[in-house]
A and B are shown apart, each in its own frame.
Chain A
């Protein structure tokens, strides 16, 4: 069975500090990977997607970057956090471009 693990569960960071969030998918080869951001009470906004190792496509510009260093790993990062980066970050995977998404449990980020 496939599992998706996100880390950390929660972070409290200062404005201007760096950030790195991670996601690992086990039990699935070559998954399509996604990063979503959700403001409190808001919708799910897609940030990035990746079809293969080393390739990441940006969907919206929020002063964030993403990388896929391994087939089963997806990293979201920034060198300087903004207050507007606060929210809930969700990693997801799918088998193909028309299948359902499987979501991780998310990371709650508070930027102070």
Chain B
């Protein structure tokens, strides 16, 4: 069964610095899709970035980028030039390929606090 693990419960950084959040996953499928979302204080869940397992290049969107290490089953999220409004809970998620993709598994989340 697929599994997603985020070991960092919370991280505190000073604004304008770079932060990395870890995520490791387990799957028997050769094709899978990895996502990062953030949940704001209001409960809203916002999609940030995705990585498809067959792509070698790390995805980048704005000040979010991924460190995809397939041999280690790892997909880290890197936020550069952090801002106060980046404070939120960040979730890593995985979908397997084919009909297995209807089950989307989330990690336990990492709370990020960005201070002035």
Contact = CB atoms under 8 A, between A and B. Distances in A.
Contacts of A108: 43
B108 A101 contact: no
B109 A43 contact: yes
A91 to B, nearest CB: 11
B95 A97 contact: yes
Nearest to B31: A98
Given A100-B50, A105-B44, A43 B99 contact: no
Interface residues of B, number: 26
A1 B59 CA distance: 25
For the complex of A and B, the 9 pairs showing the least CB-CB separation, nearest first, are A97-B101, A103-B45, A44-B106, A43-B108, A49-B102, A100-B47, A98-B101, A98-B33, A106-B43
Nearest to A100: B47
Contact of B103 (A42, A46, A102): A46
Interface of A: 32, 34, 42-46, 49, 51, 57, 59, 88, 90, 96-98, 100-103, 105-106, 108
Contact of A98 (B44, B91, B97, B105): B97
Scoring B33, B37, B99, B101 by chain A CB atoms within 10 A of each residue's CB, the highest score goes to: B101
Contacts of B109: 42-43
